[in-house]
Chains A and B, each alone.
Chain A
Amino acid sequence: MGEFDFSVWQPSLPFIRDGLLFTLRLTLVAMSGGIVIGTLLALARLSPIAPLARIAGAYVDLMRSIPLVLVILWFFLVIPFITGSPVGAETSAVITFTAFEAAFYCEIMRSGIQSVPRGQVDAAQALGLGQAQTMIHVILPQAVRNMIPVLLTQTIVLFQDTSLVYAIGAKDMLKAADVVGKNYNRPVEMIVLSALIYFAICFSLSLAVKQLQKRVAIIR
């Protein structure tokens, strides 16, 4: 095998950058979409309409009981079947991650909504606010605020999990590192590089979340 040769990092950078941009884009889209859909799922789960609550609950339980890599493969194979035309690995990845993460954000938002005291609902309703207004202006803002650290922690997990798109060949950062590693016959060095980048990003985000947690604790 010989010695390590980290000079391969230099020519790999443009590929790594493109891969990282895709990884970040995938994370951001899946996070925003996941939080929006997750919140709607949470509202459905908490809804007094029993069938709606049950369907949302079943979806969440299903997604949380299947390994992500299987969901990724399954969506990749099934979506073209539904739409009639093949979609690229990248589009498939975005749809999959949004749908998958929605289940996890749902549970976070659900506990966030339930963390708002009953008295807040009483106060909003006593002022004449309707159910939807109470949810939008009083409950959800507090639920999100209470849950920001957990939402961000979930997003860090999501950022790492996006590496699983290698299973369908989407060109994320890990894939880029893999390709360069093979071309230059330096796979170990490239894996070390991508691990360092993942670590640097996730670790600094974790530190930021810790800081934020302290601030939220003070406000409350």
Chain B
Amino acid sequence: MIEIRNVSKWYGPTQVLADASTHVAKGEVVVVCGPSGSGKSTLIKCVNGLEPFQQGTISVDGISVGDPKTDLPKLRARVGMVFQHFELFPHMSVEQNLALAQIKVLGRGKEEAAARGAALLDRVGLRAHATKFPGQLSGGQQQRVAIARALAMDPICLLFDEPTSALDPEMIGEVLDVMVELAQEGMTMMCVTHEMGFARKVARRVVFMDHGEIVEDAPTTQFFDAPASERAKTFLSRILHH
């Protein structure tokens, strides 16, 4: 589904991705982790072309992201993305947030979009909040709306960029529950996260990054029980024993 091959990226003279290669198969959940500044967020933003890259190739469902001939908006419409800071549109109600792209991008009718939005709000447990504005919701609720907004486009895969990092601890669970459910239903997901419990529960593989490189790309149990690199060992001991 997602193929990342030898991707390198520079900001001016600084290299932020170095020859990164990995993949996410259909129905698979892959967790990307690593210290801050390791390039994991940059990598995931390259997958739907929000960040350009200078070398290598990324393809999603066989479509090349870096190819200038690719219709990026069309591709992005099929790839859902959830952000660290939710990025709901603050001037629109929850239901308008869910309807906008369905109508403007997919060309759905207003009623169809509203029905799809309502069903998804139901699913993330927020139907009662449909007419509220994002500013009236808690962080956890906003992030669940953001997930529903991504799902409303019927995406072929979902990208998560640190979806729980900006949340108060007591709200992380409600968001992770939704993500686990999606994973168990067979949604293809690439998740940048430090939630190792989530990784253990649903990830097929863990990709560990440091300094723009993919240092390890291993099956989940192997990554946690027997990390191959010193860097991964150090990282794991830091985040598991704090």
Residue in A122, A133, A219 whose CB lies within 8 Å of B104: A133
Closest Cβ–Cβ distance, residue A164 to chain B (whole Å): 36
**Which chain B residue shows the least CB distance to A127?**
B101
Closest Cβ–Cβ distance, residue B111 to chain A (whole Å): 19
Question: Which of A122, A128, A130, A133 gathers most chain B CB within 10 Å?
Answer: A128
Residue in B77, B89, B135 whose CB lies within 8 Å of A138: B89
Closest Cβ–Cβ distance, residue B163 to chain A (whole Å): 13
Closest Cβ–Cβ distance, residue B53 to chain A (whole Å): 16
Contacts of A138 in B (CB 8 A): 89
B91 touches A128 (CB 8 A): no
Given contact pairs A133-B104, A137-B104, A125 touches B89 in the complex (Cβ within 8 A): no
Bin chain A's interface residue count. Answer: 10 to 19
Q: Does A142 contact B (CB under 8 A)?
A: yes
**Which chain B residue shows the least CB distance to A120?**
B87
A127 touches B100 (CB 8 A): yes
Binds A, one of B78-86, B114-122, B178-186, B225-233: B78-86
Given contact pairs A125-B76, A129-B105, A137-B100, A119 touches B87 in the complex (Cβ within 8 A): yes
B101 touches A128 (CB 8 A): yes
Interface of A is mostly: helix
Q: Does A167 contact B (CB under 8 A)?
A: no
Question: Which of A137, A219, A220 gathers most chain B CB within 10 Å?
Answer: A137
A4 CA to B79 CA, complexed, in Å: 77
**Which chain A residue shows the least CB distance to B88?**
A123
A120 touches B89 (CB 8 A): yes
Contacts of B241 in A (CB 8 A): none
Q: Does A50 contact B (CB under 8 A)?
A: no
Closest Cβ–Cβ distance, residue A138 to chain B (whole Å): 6
Residue in B48, B76, B91 whose CB lies within 8 Å of A142: B91
Residue in B50, B89, B104 whose CB lies within 8 Å of A126: B50
Q: Does B153 contact A (CB under 8 A)?
A: yes
Residue in B85, B87, B135, B149 whose CB lies within 8 Å of A220: B135
Q: Does B173 contact A (CB under 8 A)?
A: no
Given contact pairs A128-B76, A128-B153, A130-B73, A123 touches B87 in the complex (Cβ within 8 A): yes
Contacts of A125 in B (CB 8 A): 50, 72-73, 76
Contacts of B219 in A (CB 8 A): none
B81 touches A126 (CB 8 A): yes
Residue in A119, A126, A145 whose CB lies within 8 Å of B48: A126
Closest Cβ–Cβ distance, residue B10 to chain A (whole Å): 19
A128 CA to B79 CA, complexed, in Å: 9
Residues of B at the A interface (CB closer than 8 Å) are: 45, 48, 50, 72-74, 76-81, 83, 85, 87-91, 100-101, 104-106, 133, 135, 149-150, 153
A and B contact pairs by CB, cutoff 8 A, 5 listed: A122-B83, A127-B76, A127-B153, A128-B101, A133-B104
* Besides A126-B150, A127-B76, A128-B77, 15 new A-B residue pairs in contact (Cβ under 8 A), listed by A number: A119-B87, A120-B89, A124-B89, A125-B72, A127-B105, A127-B149, A127-B153, A128-B105, A128-B153, A130-B73, A133-B105, A137-B89, A145-B91, A219-B133, A220-B135
> What 6 pairs across the A-B complex have the smallest Cβ distances?
A128-B77, A123-B87, A127-B101, A126-B81, A128-B105, A119-B87
Residues of A at the B interface (CB closer than 8 Å) are: 119-120, 122-130, 133, 137-138, 141-142, 145, 219-220
